[in-house]
Amino acid sequence: MKTLHDEGYISIYDNYILDSEIKNTEEKYYFIFKERKLLLIDNQVPIIKDLKDIGLKDDDIKNCLHIGEFYSKDCFAVELVEDFDCEKYIESNENHEFLDLYFVFDIDEESYLIAGRAIQIIDWENNHQYCGRCGAKTVTSDVENAKVCPECGFTSFTRICPAIITTIIKKDYDDLDAEGKPTNKVLMAKHSYHEFIRYTLIAGFLEAGESIEEAVKREVKEEVGIEVEDIEYFGSQSWPFPNSLMIGCICKYKSGEIKVDENEILKAKWFKKEEIEKPPSEISIFARLIKNFKENY
Size of the site for Zn ion (CB under 5 A): 8
DSSP 176-188: E-TTSPEEEEEEE
Cα–Cα distance between 170 and 285 in angstroms, integer? 20
Helix (H, G, I), strand (E, B) or coil at 31: strand
Residue 120 Cβ vs Zn ion, minimum distance, rounded to whole Å:
22
- 14, 100, 151, 177: which one binds Zn ion (CB under 5 A): 151
Q: Residue 137, interface with Zn ion (CB under 5 A)? A: no
DSSP structural state of residue 50: -
Tell me which stretch binds Zn ion (CB under 5 A): 33-41, 148-156, 228-236, 247-255.
148-156
Kindly tell me which of 133 and 294 has the beta carbon lying closer to Zn ion. Answer: 133
144 binds Zn ion (CB under 5 A): no
**What ranges make up the beta strands (E) of 145-293?**
146-148, 155-157, 161-176, 182-191, 199-200, 202-205, 227-239, 244-255, 265-271
Element (H, E) at 101: helix 101-104
**Single residue of 149, 246, 249, 268 touching Zn ion by CB under 5 A:** 149
Q: How far is the CB of 128 from Zn ion (least distance, A)?
A: 11
Segment interacting with Zn ion (CB under 5 A) among 129-137, 179-187, 200-208, 215-223: 129-137
Report how far apart the first and last C-alpha atoms of the chain are (Å, whole number).
19
Distance from C-alpha of 104 to C-alpha of 89, rounded to nearest angstrom: 20
Q: At closest approach, how far in Å is the CB of 140 from Zn ion?
A: 15
* Given 18, 22, 134, 139, the residue binding Zn ion (CB under 5 A): 134
Q: Which of 52, 133, 194, 198 binds Zn ion (CB under 5 A)?
A: 133
Rounded least distance, CB 129 to Zn ion, Å: 12
Element (H, E) at 295: helix 285-296
Which residues form the interface with Zn ion (CB under 5 A)? 131, 133-134, 136, 149, 151-152, 154
